[in-house]
Amino acid sequence: MFRRAFWFTTGAAAGVWATTKVQRKLRSLAPDALAVRAADKAVDTGHRLKEFALDVRAGMAQRESELNDALGLDAPPDGESAGLLPGRPPGHQLGPAQQPGRTRPYDRNEDH
C-alpha cells in the first residue's frame, strides 16, 4: 500500500510540474510576451550600437590626433576650416557652391 501511495504521489507531482512548465512556456509564447521581449531586445541592440558608435568616434579622434602629430599638422591654417579663402580678409567667405566637397549644379551656358 505504501508503494502505491508513493508512486501515486510521485506521478501527481510530476504531472503538476509538467503542467506548470507547459503553462509557463505558453505564457512566454503569447503575442503580448513576444512583443515585449522583441521591444526589449531592440532597445538593448540600440544601446549597444550607440556605445559602438561612440567607441568608433573616440578611436577616430585619437587616431586623427596621432596622425596629425606624426605629420606635424597640429592645427589647420587660420580660416581654412571655416570656409575662408586663404590670403583673403576674414570677412570674405566661400559661397555654398564653392565650399570644399560641394559640387556645382550643371550650368548649360558653360558649354557654349
> From CA 48, how far away is CA 44, in angstroms rounded?
6
Pick from 72, 79, 109: nearest CA to 93:
79
pTM over 0.75: no
Do you know the residue count of the chain? 112
- DSSP 8-class letter at 96: G
- Phi, psi at residue 84, to the nearest 5°? -85, 150
Extract the runs of DSSP E, i.e. beta strands, from 10-93: none
> From CA 62, how far away is CA 71, in angstroms rounded?
14
| Domain ranges for the chain | 37-69
Going residue by residue through the chain (112 aa), what tens digit of pLDDT does each one get?
A: 889 999 999 999 999 999 999 999 999 889 999 999 999 999 999 999 999 999 999 999 999 999 999 998 876 555 555 555 555 555 555 555 555 555 555 555 555 5
